Amino acid sequence: MDATVSARINMMRIVLISGIIFVHVPYNPATSPYAGTFGGLDWMRVFLADSLFRIGVPCLSAISGYLLFHRGLEAFDYRKTLRTKASTILLPFLLWNLAFLAFVYLAQSRGIGFGYLPDVVNATPRALMNLGLALETWPINIPLYFLRDLLLCLVLSPLIALAVLRYPRTALALMLAYAVLPVPNGIFLKKSILFGFSFGVTMALHRIDIRRIDRFALPVTLAVLGVAVLLSVALYAFGPEFPVWLDMLRALAAMSGIFGAWALSALLIRTGAGQALARLGGLSFWIFCGHYPLLIFFWMVWNRLGIAHYPLFYVASPVLALAILVSTHALARRFAPALHATLTGRRMGGPRRTVAERQQRPPMKPTGSIAQRR
């Protein structure tokens, strides 16, 4: 893989995941953005949470599908993939989610946290299984549904690869219809994940140069941003209960965000900030898994303090969450590297170097047994 493509993928992961924080900032009916209490800020909240950053899930899914097959179908080892993903996705999912479930149980057993999260203390065994493992419904750490659905895509990856390799247009059209139309979810919690993953697989298996869009990066980015603005206007006008046609448009706009996010990456990677973000390694995964429990904790403390000015909470909580997660990530990586590696699925490094960059380094002189083995 080209080093620039790898860097852009790393950069967009952390940009999209940081944006997803705004999707999960909690509120109550009185502070709902659709109540119109705070004027322009409410529209901005709808724009960020219900329109713009909804592109994060399909984009991250497309990245996962592309990376899985970017070496081609002949290099794909299904058994090895499942073994690897058990440690890089399944294990972190279980650790983050079950740890939060245990924390909520301890808090609620002492009378803390009821009304903010599902009732864990009085839950049935089936409900506990779902909260802990997301077998049928959302996990207690809600954003981790993405990892759960991604694991399903990985299990189905040979079938997905075969479908998009032989019938790419038909397969993608059917998956897009499944994601957009008001049909049952089936085994997936978020239908857009299947389409995004399959789209990434298609790009990889058909050897489509994903950099061809770069020359149109600015107009594509502006077009997708314009779609997000128009969508947010409609959502703000009709919400919080959306008609079916508007839900379909929202899903379709999220899919188009795949193109917008990739075009934006072509612009950002040229900047110093973009290149710095591309080197952050496993921080994006740490932020993704840890931001929701922090936001809920902040919301509980905020309500306990009785501060009425919600806009301050909306602005401060994502910033504070990011500051804490960046700090704890650095501390864990420095003082508990084994734990850090487990919790991030061993997502440690930044973008890989190109072959040309590697060849610039002077070759090591072979000696001893190494020379003999060569």
Averaged over 11-16, what is the pLDDT? 92
Task: Say how far apart CA 70 and CA 63 lie, in whole Å.
Answer: 10
**Contacts with 90 (C-beta within 8 Å, 6 or more apart), sequence order:** 147, 151
Residue 146, Cβ density class (10 Å: 0-12 exposed, 13-18 middle, ≥19 buried): buried
**What pLDDT does 277 receive?**
87
Task: Answer whether residue 356 shows pLDDT above 60.
Answer: no
Within-domain flag for 312? yes
Within-domain flag for 365? no
Q: What is the pLDDT of residues 40-94, one digit of tens each?
A: 999 999 999 999 999 999 999 999 999 999 998 888 999 999 999 999 999 999 9
Task: Quote the number of domains for the chain.
Answer: 1
User: Which band of pLDDT confidence, cut at 50, 70 and 90, is reported for residue 348?
Assistant: low
Among 117-131, 311-325, 345-359, whose mean pLDDT is lowest?
345-359
| Token pair belonging to 162 | 């075969």
**What pLDDT does 1 receive?**
62
**What pLDDT does 370 receive?**
32
- The string of DSSP codes covering 132-166 is HH-SSS--SSGGGHHHHHHHHHHHTHHHHHHHHHH
Task: Answer whether residue 369 shows pLDDT above 90.
Answer: no
Within-domain flag for 140? yes
**What pLDDT does 131 receive?**
96
% of the chain at pLDDT higher than 90: 75
Task: Answer whether residue 239 shows pLDDT above 50.
Answer: yes
**What pLDDT does 33 receive?**
94
Q: What is the mean pLDDT of the chain?
A: 89
Q: What is the pLDDT of residues 189-216, one digit of tens each?
A: 999 999 999 999 999 999 998 898 899 9
* DSSP-derived secondary structure letter, 110: T
Within-domain flag for 243? yes
Within-domain flag for 374? no
User: Which band of pLDDT confidence, cut at 50, 70 and 90, is reported for residue 281?
Assistant: low
Q: What is the pLDDT of residues 269-278, one digit of tens each?
A: 989 888 888 8
Residue pair 153/201 in contact (Cβ under 8 Å)? The answer is: no
Q: For residue 117, list its beta bridge partners.
A: 114
Averaged over 153-159, what is the pLDDT? 96
The pTM for the full model equals 0.89
For 352, other C-beta atoms within 10 Å of its C-beta total 15
Q: Is the pLDDT higher at 250 or at 111?
A: 250
**What pLDDT does 353 receive?**
45
Task: Say how far apart CA 163 and CA 174 lie, in whole Å.
Answer: 11
Task: Answer whether residue 357 shows pLDDT above 80.
Answer: no
Best-predicted range by mean pLDDT (98-102, 207-211, 307-311, 370-374)? 98-102
Within-domain flag for 370? no
Within-domain flag for 364? no
Q: For residue 114, list its beta bridge partners.
A: 117
**What pLDDT does 351 receive?**
43
Range of the domain at 86: 3-355
User: Which band of pLDDT confidence, cut at 50, 70 and 90, is reported for residue 36?
Assistant: confident
Residue pair 161/201 in contact (Cβ under 8 Å)? The answer is: yes
Within-domain flag for 372? no
